Chains A and B, each alone.
Chain A
Amino acid sequence: MTTRDDLFEFAEFDETESEHIAAPRYSYWKSVWKTFIRNKFTVFTAILLIALVAFAMIQPMISGYDPMVAPNINNSSMRFLSPSKEFIFGTDNVCNSVFDAVWSGARNSLFIAFICTFINMVIGIALGAVWGFSKRLDRIMIEVYNVLSNIPFLLLAMILQYIMGAGFKSLIIAMCCTDWIFVAYFIRTHVMIIRDREYNLASKCLGTKTWTMITKNILPYLISVIMTYVSRTIPAYISYEVFLSYMGLGLGAKNASLGKLISQYTSYMNSYPHLFWIPVLILATISISLYIVGQRLSDAADPRTHM
């Protein structure tokens, strides 16, 4: 078979043209957002979570609920009312609205969980990043870790309660006293995994300082790992608080909390089971949605899912 030359013509090749990238411009955070909202269930959970948190923050301000104030305590007709229009979740043993009590408790529990997570994360990430980088610091810190991680948490909480009295401060201190070391250890391990990768050697050869390496080369790679950790930590602190309050080591009588409500209502488990189940369900909903949203956010933060 012969080919006819006049059927073909020379195509011109432009070298600069071959360098162009046809794909749309890539933006990291935009892609995170796009991946996150791709799943309808995730969006629904996120909206539910935001609504719950916002309601827990606002509702107590309107109701002005205070566990020390029980205006109807002597009015026996107000005791253990079933849910109605006036009292959405009914009333409890001291004739207060369970609805107000639950949201006020949720607010305090969330508040403590957020504060503790924030403090532990900031200390833990900053320390862990340096710890993972410095071999000299590692030798000291690993001993500090061995000591701190072996202090029984419950004992520490009890002692602090004795010294400082019950309240926000002692509870937050108890939960932040040793927990940062676990965050730091977790971050340290991850820093060590990527510390000696070639692009970090390249940065070193360009004279980049350790701190810039941490903020520009290491932490951006850890965003999704940190998000996973946070999404596990916040619900963990909520249940910690519940656990401590249930043990009588929580916030004290002046402040409501989900843990305290649950422990208080346990005695009515048989006669008025809704009293017990309402705070438990609120707790579960907040914890689970926090966990789901955090997980999905950390998945979305991984650029491998951005395709």
Chain B
Amino acid sequence: MSNSSNKEVLLSLKGVDISFAKDGKKFRAVKNANFDIYRGETFSLVGESGSGKTTIGRAIMRINPLSAGEIIFKGKRISGKISKEEDMDVIRSIQMIFQDPAASLNERATIEYCVSEGLYNFHLYKDEEDRIAKVDAALESVGLLPEHKSRYPHEFSGGQRQRVGIARAMIMEPELIVADEPISALDVSIRAQVLNLMNKFKEEKGLTYLFIAHDLSVVRFISDRIAVIHLGRIVEIAETEDLFKYPLHPYTISLLSAVPMPDPIIEKQKDLVVYDESKRDLSGPKPILQEIRPGHFVFANDREMAEYEVKLQQMEKERAELDK
């Protein structure tokens, strides 16, 4: 990606296909996904339910196997079969934050065990004292108290549980965190708390996030770059402000139109654009993901590219007039 040649690519997906087969029927959940994630950024993946965002996240965690393509992490292939040392290394470097904090913690284990699980697996502590010190530090860094160690997950609120989930990922000192809708199951009042915590870690430790979400207002707040995914196909990738200023793909436009405005008058007059692929003119050669502006990619064929170019120039003109 030309504009970001000075940034280090941490994770890169190359032609990733993921299919699920059931009773001989094959379902392609992810179709030819290509994108890079740079070190230190928050890359968001947005799309509707069933669009394949979580599947991509799980493929990076190597829970879902790929049916084509490969995933490169720090220059090494991590998809498919890899050696045991590499496997352990990748497990440590890529951690995940789950959607449902109630379901993702072992209810029959204390918080101490939940948080130290990774430490035990990799023996990342000198002695028992060191392990407890590390657990205490991890709990404090997410705003929990060391006295919570001996408690069980069901004694905590949703926000507290999600913070335990973050502490357990952070204690491994990872480089990349796959956050699979980490705030969707949380109360609106504590969403900001968790997002701020994630941003705090990003600044302190130079973490990289793959943030999976469907709520664009949250995505706008947290991410540096956004990829829009529709039915397993990535339709647009751009820097956050670019995407919100100049949405090109009809699906992106419909997604942005769905963001609620905190003004009832605007909200009532708003035209909701419902994306319907069957009503689109899909003639011409097969579309591919093409770069229309530096860092701004859109899924289109040549005919559509020309249309988007006209539209983009018009939008840029309007924007320039507004700025005057």
Q: Give residues in A with beta carbon < 8 Å to B.
A: 15-16, 19-21, 23, 25-26, 28, 197-199, 201-209, 212, 216-217, 220-221, 303
Contacts and interface: CB of A to CB of B under 8 A. Distances in A.
Contacts of B105: 199, 202
Interface stretch (B5-13, B27-35, B115-123, B253-261): B115-123
Residues of A contacting B: mostly: helix
Interface in B149-171: 150-152, 154-156, 160, 165, 168
B118 A206 contact: yes
Contacts of B42: none
Given A19-B145, A20-B145, A205 B150 contact: no
Interface stretch (B68-76, B91-99, B210-218, B296-304): B91-99
B61 A205 contact: yes
A209 B91 CA distance: 12
B41 to A, nearest CB: 22
Interface of B: 61, 63, 88, 91-92, 95-96, 98-100, 103-109, 113, 117-118, 120-122, 143-145, 147-148, 150-152, 154-156, 160, 165, 168, 172
Nearest to B168: A206
Given A201-B63, A202-B98, A203-B117, A25 B143 contact: no
Contacts of A26: 151-152, 155
B121 A198 contact: no
28 contacts: A19-B144, A19-B160, A26-B151, A197-B103, A198-B99, A198-B100, A199-B105, A199-B106, A199-B107, A202-B96, A202-B98, A202-B105, A202-B165, A203-B106, A203-B117, A205-B61, A205-B96, A206-B91, A206-B95, A206-B118, A206-B168, A207-B121, A208-B121, A209-B121, A216-B113, A217-B108, A220-B109, A221-B108
A16 B139 CA distance: 12
A21 B109 CA distance: 17
Contacts of A204: 63
Contacts of B100: 198
Residue from B106, B117, B120, B168 whose CB has the most chain A CB atoms within 10 Å: B106
Contacts of B108: 28, 217, 220-221, 303
B155 to A, nearest CB: 6
Contact of A202 (B104, B148, B156, B172): B104
Nearest to B87: A207
A198 B104 contact: yes
A208 B122 CA distance: 9
B61 A198 contact: no
B104 to A, nearest CB: 5
A216 B61 CA distance: 22
Contacts of A21: 148, 151, 155-156
A84 B148 CA distance: 64
A204 B121 CA distance: 10
B152 to A, nearest CB: 6
Contacts of A220: 108-109
Given A16-B145, A26-B155, A220-B108, A208 B103 contact: no
Contacts of B172: 206
Chain A to chain B: the 10 pairs with minimum beta-carbon distance, closest first: A220-B108, A207-B91, A198-B103, A207-B121, A206-B118, A198-B104, A202-B104, A205-B96, A199-B106, A206-B117
A128 to B, nearest CB: 18
Nearest to A219: B108
Given A207-B88, A220-B109, 10 more contacts: A28-B152, A198-B100, A198-B103, A202-B96, A202-B104, A202-B105, A205-B63, A206-B118, A216-B109, A217-B106
A117 B316 CA distance: 78
B96 A25 contact: no
B98 to A, nearest CB: 6
